[in-house]
Amino acid sequence: MDKTAVLLILCLAIVIRIPLINHNFISDDYISLAKPTMASPKDLFFRPIQTAVFTLNKMLFGLNPLGWNLMSLFFHLTNLYLIIRFTRLLFDYKGITLLSGLLFSVHFIHNEPIYWFSAILTLMTATFLLLTIITYIKNRSRILPITFFILALLTKETAITIPFVLIIISLFQKLSLKRTIPFFLILGGYLLIRISSYNPIYQTDHYALSLSPINTFKNFTFLFSGLTVWIDYRLLHNLWYQTDGLSVMMGKILDNRIIVFSLISSWMLFLIPLIKGSRRDRFAIVLTVVLFLPFLFLRGSGERFLYIPSIGSALLVSLLINRLSNPGRLMVVCALAIYLGLFSLTTGHRWIAAGRQAGEIVYFLKKVERTLPYDSKIYFVNPPEEIEGAWVFKNGLEYIDELYFTRSDVEVIPVRIENIDPGHGDKVIIWEAPVD
């Protein structure tokens, strides 16, 4: 493997994410900082690794975001290196290996899981998934891939796809399918414990399941478009998931020519190789879809859902580009890298702005705390939820007093309406969104 090229790709990934260094905590981060324990199978999320990571980080870095952000960057860079190793095991060709790493390093869809520390579990799940695959293919130890699979399951529920990924890889590499049996046994035990412990399994709107064909088509389109073409994600999201009726939704989509072109292009990029492509192309497409399976039937969506599937899409695009002749190949690679990198930088500003605003609010509330009499409340009316889809305080504002205040008698209460009845000495803060 060309170590210099790999090092350059890693450096490029660092340059793209440089703004992360000064990024602040946002939204759910404050909940996880205050109450990191989510380690019971009875909960909607059973993620003991999250408890360990947040507890350890809090011991090491306290409430300084720098250390937390560096950890997110560390796992992202680790995933980038592991993807290069993974593709090298599949295809003994340096061009495909390095190009897959390059495309993954600059992809714009990675902003949410990198800038939002609560989504570090997505990065860690990708790490354990790739380690499982690599050790499985090498077949030097039976214990290592199983260990990494268990760690992935304890990190995030999306790891349930790993046994199916191993089947795809076994078929592609002509490995014995019997080797996947232990993984399915572990998965069966995990699902049995989760389903029997948690009731009801379909609770919460965002993580509710829908088996309707329309919802599945929406999610497939979200997958294909999110991995290939940059469009106004929030606009598409609102059209996709917040419009009543198929005819109304289609009418609004057809009114926007850019979205129509983007959606058609993204579908064609996957369908043409699936029908006309090589065995390698089909493998990359199936891998992408299988990695997306945990989200395929959800009613909600999020950019972080595409971080792990982008492994497969980077591989697919690399295979397609590799068919071009040398001069044309270089031009396409340069153009694609610039396209993805520029959108990574320009769309990352949403998360930087969200973190800056959250930090300013925390600083302001800390100043207000010092001026209040004993046993007071701060009513924060209409706290900002997001900036162009980047969370500010959709959740978490109620934990600012516990995390940052020096006094235990002052409480922060976020409210969405102005009809409140403050007591003597209480402070009312009404947030007004800036006018464009």
Torsion, Cα of 302, 303, 305, 306 (10° steps): 150
Q: Judging by beta carbons within 10 Å of its beta carbon (0-12, 13-18, 19+), is residue 10 exposed, middle or buried?
A: middle
pLDDT category of residue 239 using cuts at 50, 70 and 90: low
Q: Which of 134-138, 161-165, 252-256, 323-327 has the lowest mean pLDDT?
A: 252-256
- DSSP-derived 3-state class of residue 429: strand
pLDDT at 148: 97
Average of per-residue pLDDT values in the chain: 84
pLDDT tops 90 at residue 333: no
* pLDDT band, very low/low/confident/very high, at 202 (cuts 50, 70, 90): very low
Look at residue 287 in the predicted model and tell me its pLDDT.
Answer: 95
Q: How large is the average pLDDT for residues 156-169?
A: 95
Phi, psi (deg, nearest 5) at residue 430: -105, 115
Contact 165, 133 (CB under 8 A): yes
Q: Which of 34-38, 58-62, 135-139, 186-190 has the lowest mean pLDDT?
A: 34-38
Count of alpha carbons within 13 angstroms of residue 196, beta-carbon side: 6
Between 205 and 148, the higher pLDDT residue:
148
Q: What is the DSSP letter of 39?
A: -
* Better-scored residue on pLDDT, 176 or 238: 176
Q: What is the pLDDT of residue 79?
A: 96
> Which residues have C-beta within 8 Å of that of residue 401, sequence separation ≥ 6?
365, 369, 378, 410, 411, 412
Least confident of 16-30, 51-65, 323-337, 412-426: 412-426
Reported in sequence order, the residue ranges of 232-389 that DSSP labels E, i.e. its strands, are: 377-381, 386-387
Structure tokens at 297: 């039937």
What is the mean pLDDT of the segment spanning 340-369? 88
Top pLDDT among 203 and 398 is at 398
Greater confidence, 388 or 197? 388
Lowest mean pLDDT among 34-48, 77-91, 292-306: 34-48
- Does pLDDT of 20 surpass 70? yes
Q: Cβ distance 97 to 91 under 8 Å?
A: yes
Higher local confidence (pLDDT), 186 or 427: 186
Residue 115 has pLDDT above 70, yes or no: yes
**Alpha helices of 156-211 — where are they, by DSSP H?**
162-173, 181-197
Q: Is the pLDDT of residue 272 over 80?
A: yes
Dist. CA 324–CA 142, nearest whole Å: 39
Flag whether pLDDT at 370 surpasses 80: yes
State the amino acid at position 243 in one-letter form: T
Give pLDDT, residue 201. Answer: 46
Read off the pLDDT of each residue in 405-423 and give the average, rounded to a whole number: 78
Domain ranges of the chain: 3-205+278-352, 372-430
| Contact call for residues 58 and 25 (beta carbons, < 8 A) | no
Does pTM top 0.85 for this prediction?
yes
Q: Which residues contact 16 (CB under 8 A, 6 or more apart)?
A: 105, 106, 341, 344, 345
Is a pLDDT exceeding 60 seen at residue 55? Answer: yes
- pLDDT for res 187: 94
What is the Cα–Cα distance from 26 to 359, expressed in whole angstroms? Answer: 8
Q: How far is CA 170 from the centre of its chain?
A: 27
Q: Among 166-180, 213-227, 262-276, which stretch is predicted with the lowest mean pLDDT?
A: 213-227
Q: How many percent of the chain have pLDDT more than 70?
A: 85
Task: Please give the Cα distance from 157 to 72 (Å, whole number).
Answer: 19
